[in-house]
Amino acid sequence: MADSARRAVGSASDVRSGGRLTITLADLARRVIVSETPDQVELLGEVTAQWEAGHVPRRRRWALMSGSVNFGIDPAVLSELIYPVLTATFAQVLGDVTLIAWRRWRGRSRPQSVPRMQITLSVNRFDEVIPVCIAQGRDSGCSEAKARLLADAVYRELSRALEESQQRK
Q: What residue numbers bound the domain in which 58 lies?
A: 3-10+22-168
Whether 67 has a pLDDT exceeding 60, the answer reads: no
Whether 17 maps to a domain, the answer reads no
In whole angstroms, give the CA distance from residue 137 to residue 116: 21
- Domains identified in the chain, total number: 1
136-168 pLDDT tens trace: 999 988 889 999 999 999 999 999 999 999 888
- Look at residue 160 and tell me if it is in a domain: yes
Is 111 contained in some domain?
A: yes
141 or 63: which leads in pLDDT = 141
Region 81-103 average pLDDT: 77
Nearest to 70 by CA among 148, 144, 149: 149
